[in-house]
Structure 1
Amino acid sequence: MLDFDEAYKVTNAKDLLKEISELYQLVVTEGDAIFEKWEADIIRPEFNESARNLSYYLALRQRDIRGIQRDLVPWGLSSLGRLESKTLSTLEAVIHALTAIVGEQVSEQTPPFDAFNLGEERLAFNTALILGEKPNNRNTRIMVTMPTQAAGNIQLVRDLINKGMNVARINCAHDTEDIWMQIIGNIRQVSNELNKDVRILMDIAGPKIRIDWIFTTHKKPKVSLGDTIYLTKDYNHLPKNNEAKVTAGCSIPQIFEQLSVGDAVLIDDGTVETKVIDVSHDYAKLEVHKIKGKSIRIKADKGLNFPGLYFAIDILTQEDKEAIAFAAEHADIIGCSFVRDVNDIKSIQSELHSLLGKKAKDIPLMVKIETVQAVQNLTQIILAAASHNPFSVMIARGDLAVETGYIRLAEVQQQIMWICEAADVPVVWGTEVLANMIDTGIPSRAEVTDAAEGGRSDCVMLNKGDYIVDTVEMLDEILHMMKEHQFKKTPKLRALSIAKNNDHKN
């Protein structure tokens, strides 16, 4: 067991100053080299300084600096844990303070005080540019997924905006252009009436692999542990016997060419976990390995996930291209689902350029991070997107949890937020926020905490449901409360009411 006194032994200040000064020089040298590789591809001058700070942050975070961070604490210097938006300035300030502590000559002011605010100012500018004006009572915007009813129920739209909705999300995987147009018309009308800045995000479906249809000969086609499911290309490849309770059609047939025995296939955001026990170019035979509950019914339109596998699938279907054309004309932000790498970003940008020419660079993009590949390629995705367009990221925690595993999700979502903050990229906290309240009107204890954690992001997304208006109102109150206590990773030390009750006789 680690000895407490040894772990927190006060390091000689001169040695610590030497160590962190050497670290600083390495970060500057390596960060400059990283930025030099990027600079020629940055078309938007607004992204230059953000990319430069990101390069220094990456150079620093390639190292384990826990020892230095620990040794700084006894000297009253512990700011390395909050340097995302001000990497070099933070290191310079620590060096400046340590230099004074050891009694050496220091410059009058190194770094300039305003250097500490530049990253936050850039992020605030980018957030307002993409997600709209900051609400008066909170730092974090609220995004709501529009239900179909919003097309014919303008009062629902009015209630959502009055309660605090800042961004309206239209999921292009559902409804039609006529319905989208009615929803957009209602949002524009009400936001103008109320003088509210409400942005419209159109979320392009992307290559989401889903169950197209279900075939079964059973009256109650629920599957349990050990049951078999057939996944097929089309109706021509149904099983010739009743071995499988359910046969499901796969929306993207190319996957069968890349599946192998032993691969995991997860259905409905991991509600059913299966493994491939047989596969050909026409079908895959799956065995239920884990399941939520004793049995569950497999339904059409539910998602399929293949953790660890990369399918060579075009990022845009023909339907997606038609949706992008509509969004380019009517939306404020275009959302891109299931992006995996730089090539996907370039394909989307190319499609926009073919529609809008030079004006394509003015369209804000929002990429949903929901695959392992996207996490691994996050830095390159940010560079490719933000170098050409106003850019933001949504952490789509449903598919991401299935892809990475639930245990890893906790650290992955935080790492995404840190990298984005270093690049001055706004982040949306998405998937199942206050889901129980949206469905039933009563939140669970855990999801209230999750919603508060979302206050570290720049926007929190809510899905549609029967109690969505009440949920927007509650989320508005939660985010208002958390504004007084925390910004990103930094706690705010407002007076605590519970600290005042300190008389042990009461």
Structure 2
Amino acid sequence: MASHVTLESDAADLLAAVRRVRAVVIERSAGLLAGWSAALDRPAFAAGATNLAHYLALRSQDLSALQPRLAALGLSSLGRSESRVLESLDAVAATLARLAGADGPPHPDRAAFGAGAAALAREQAAVFGPDGRGRLTRILVTLPARAAEDAPFVADLVAAGADCVRINCAHDSAATWAAMIANVRAATAAGAGACRVLMDLGGPKCRIVEIAAPGTTRLLRGDVFALVDRMPRTAPRRITVRSNVDDLVSRLRPGLPLYVDDGRIGASIEEVSADRALIRVETVRSKGLKLRVDKGFNIPGLDLGQPAITDKDLIDLDFVAGHADIVGCSFAQHPADVALMQRELTLRRGDRPPQPLVLKIETPLAVRNLPELIAQGAGRQPLAVMIARGDLAVELGFGRIGEVQEQILWLCEAAHVPVVWATQVLAGLVAEGAPSRAEATDAAMAQRAECVMLNKGPYLVEAVRFLDDLLRRMDRHQHKKTPQLAALDAWSALWPPARAGGSDREATDA
């Protein structure tokens, strides 16, 4: 009897705690929704916006002490409530009320409990197209220039499992893009598979546009190179680099870090004069790395003062608005950046439906503003969020990227917005023909996102096939944060096989 009283008392105490958590969720989420209201014009996102506000309000509270107590009673610890915040709280409260012998609300019905996951699947289809391959996660492939001239190569990519292709507008020209798209459309029409086209605007990314050097451009640890605004007329004595950002040197100061090619070269600014900055390499692989034109670089903590949509982006939008299925928005950091992109697309689309947007999250400011970016984007059109792990890892610091990519996954699931897991996925396989163990594990973890992106390389078709098989295997075992308890085939030999026509119990007894 004593244990029964203890159970009732414990359940009553937990019920009160859960009700307090729910009250805070309702109170705090109301203010968030009011702040987003001007952007929320799309009925399909209404439930996602509300649940996102609920999730942010839920996670503003420390639930860590509550979770083990709920789990000890066989209840949800609220650790997988992203897509259904109120429904999860109400389900727990309903069970606690019955354990405590108190009045309580009925349990949410099964349809309401699964509505968030269903909404996320609909948004995934709205951005990347309906599922035609039976995978939970789509595959996005960055097209090389070769795709403009090699139609069989494009058909092989689509047939291997590419659900969507990406054209990086920072490279090539409208004529090349048109040829790439024509080959994609031909491949889908010929039955290779459904495949959408994402055109990714270059945005205000620092890039190397000119290199002058007396010899090789390979940099080793300890080497010094120069960064200039205008290339000198006389031959330089050391490697000299010019970027696409006007008057960049005047904004630099000694001690600032600088990273080239998604952090493959780590350096610091050693000296700044009127016409150049001297940069010393601090980290690079042992055999060094060559500087190449078009490679990006980052200077964390420095505001470059560039507009979210560059003059080149505006020119490219004339083509993108008429030819792309999806538009990629690079370096969006404020809701106003997204609103500007939406206005420019509307000017060019006329009465045609808005194209889905992919917001690339590449800076700490974009991470901080992610709820508002989502509200502005998904409030007007189908939206996906790309975890652009190359720039983001450099900007945040490599030690934080694992933590932050998890938080982005949680937040987007709460908003019912699909996520693209991007940068260096299966990079060794794409470039060299063989994956490393670490990158195979990374790709398996990527299955929790709604889409995984591969970059271009000589073994791209093989990488798509490998990823397709890996994602299908992981679908048996994982859905978002929830393990799927399929039978463990690796240890099936532990159990005697059932006799034909008999039960498992009969086989065991025999």
Fold equivalence (TM over 0.5) = yes
**Is contact 2:225–2:240 with CA below 8 Å preserved after alignment?**
yes
**Is contact 1:230–1:247 with CA below 8 Å preserved after alignment?**
yes
**Is contact 2:93–2:104 with CA below 8 Å preserved after alignment?**
no
| Secondary structure of the corresponding residue to residue 315 of structure 1 | coil
1:461 aligns with 2:458: no
Match of residue 3 from structure 1: none
Match of residue 208 from structure 2: 211
**Distance between the aligned counterparts of 2:216 and 2:203, measured in 1?**
32
**Distance between the aligned counterparts of 2:47 and 2:274, measured in 1?**
49
Match of residue 299 from structure 1: 292
Match of residue 502 from structure 2: none
Match of residue 223 from structure 1: 219
Match of residue 99 from structure 1: 97
Match of residue 5 from structure 1: none
Change in CA separation of 1:430 and 1:69 when aligned onto 2, cut-off 3 Å: same
Match of residue 178 from structure 1: 175
| Secondary structure of the corresponding residue to residue 81 of structure 1 | coil
Match of residue 472 from structure 2: 480
Match of residue 505 from structure 2: none
Segment of structure 1 superposing worse, 20-29 or 227-236? 227-236
Match of residue 322 from structure 2: 329
**Distance between the aligned counterparts of 1:440 and 1:225, measured in 2?**
24
1:387 aligns with 2:379: yes
Match of residue 119 from structure 1: 116
1:313 aligns with 2:306: yes
Deviations 1:210-235 (A, max 9, x none): 11111223x34433333322111012
Shift of 1:301: 2.0
Shift of 1:106: 3.8
**Distance between the aligned counterparts of 1:343 and 1:39, measured in 2?**
15
**Distance between the aligned counterparts of 1:232 and 1:11, measured in 2?**
72
Change in CA separation of 1:383 and 1:400 when aligned onto 2, cut-off 3 Å: same
Match of residue 268 from structure 2: 275
Match of residue 42 from structure 2: 44
**Distance between the aligned counterparts of 1:354 and 1:302, measured in 2?**
32
**Distance between the aligned counterparts of 1:226 and 1:10, measured in 2?**
68
Aligned residue runs from structure 1 range 141-180, under 5 A: 141-180=138-177
**Distance between the aligned counterparts of 1:72 and 1:262, measured in 2?**
50
Segment of structure 1 superposing worse, 449-458 or 148-157? 148-157
**Distance between the aligned counterparts of 2:250 and 2:366, measured in 1?**
22
Deviations 1:177-205 (A, max 9, x none): 11111111111112022173211001111
**Distance between the aligned counterparts of 2:427 and 2:380, measured in 1?**
35
Shift of 1:280: 4.4
Aligned Cα root-mean-square deviation (Å): 2.2
**Is contact 1:79–1:90 with CA below 8 Å preserved after alignment?**
no
**Is contact 1:214–1:300 with CA below 8 Å preserved after alignment?**
yes
| Secondary structure of the corresponding residue to residue 65 of structure 2 | helix
Segment of structure 1 superposing worse, 229-238 or 120-129? 229-238
Segment of structure 1 superposing worse, 418-427 or 256-265? 256-265
Match of residue 362 from structure 2: 370
**Distance between the aligned counterparts of 2:128 and 2:207, measured in 1?**
30
**Distance between the aligned counterparts of 1:440 and 1:11, measured in 2?**
62
**Distance between the aligned counterparts of 2:479 and 2:421, measured in 1?**
15
Match of residue 138 from structure 1: 135
Change in CA separation of 1:167 and 1:296 when aligned onto 2, cut-off 3 Å: closer
**Distance between the aligned counterparts of 2:261 and 2:35, measured in 1?**
41
**Is contact 2:68–2:77 with CA below 8 Å preserved after alignment?**
no
Question: Unaligned 5+ residue runs, structure 1?
Answer: 1-8
Q: Choose which of 54, 57, 60 in structure 1 pairs with 2:55.
A: 57
Shift of 1:79: 4.2
Match of residue 229 from structure 2: 233
**Is contact 1:134–1:140 with CA below 8 Å preserved after alignment?**
no
Shift of 1:351: 1.4
**Distance between the aligned counterparts of 1:254 and 1:352, measured in 2?**
30
Match of residue 501 from structure 2: none
Shift of 1:421: 0.7
**Distance between the aligned counterparts of 1:456 and 1:64, measured in 2?**
25
**Distance between the aligned counterparts of 1:272 and 1:465, measured in 2?**
20
1:129 aligns with 2:121: no
Deviations 1:452-473 (A, max 9, x none): 1111011111112111111111
**Distance between the aligned counterparts of 1:232 and 1:203, measured in 2?**
28
Match of residue 481 from structure 2: 489
**Distance between the aligned counterparts of 1:221 and 1:49, measured in 2?**
53
Match of residue 431 from structure 1: 423
The AA in structure 2 aligned to 1:407 is G
| Secondary structure of the corresponding residue to residue 313 of structure 2 | helix
The AA in structure 2 aligned to 1:287 is R
**Is contact 1:275–1:289 with CA below 8 Å preserved after alignment?**
yes
Q: Choose which of 18, 24, 27 in structure 1 pairs with 2:25.
A: 27
| Secondary structure of the corresponding residue to residue 66 of structure 1 | coil
Shift of 1:298: 2.5
Deviations 1:424-460 (A, max 9, x none): 1111111111111112221111111111111101111
Shift of 1:367: 1.1
Q: Identity across aligned pairs (percent)?
A: 40
Change in CA separation of 1:372 and 1:493 when aligned onto 2, cut-off 3 Å: same
Shift of 1:347: 2.0
**Distance between the aligned counterparts of 2:327 and 2:395, measured in 1?**
24
Q: Choose which of 404, 420, 424 in structure 2 pairs with 1:412.
A: 404
Change in CA separation of 1:310 and 1:11 when aligned onto 2, cut-off 3 Å: farther
**Distance between the aligned counterparts of 1:319 and 1:190, measured in 2?**
30
Match of residue 4 from structure 1: none
Segment of structure 1 superposing worse, 296-305 or 198-207? 296-305
Deviations 1:324-348 (A, max 9, x none): 1111101100111122222221221
**Distance between the aligned counterparts of 2:89 and 2:194, measured in 1?**
38
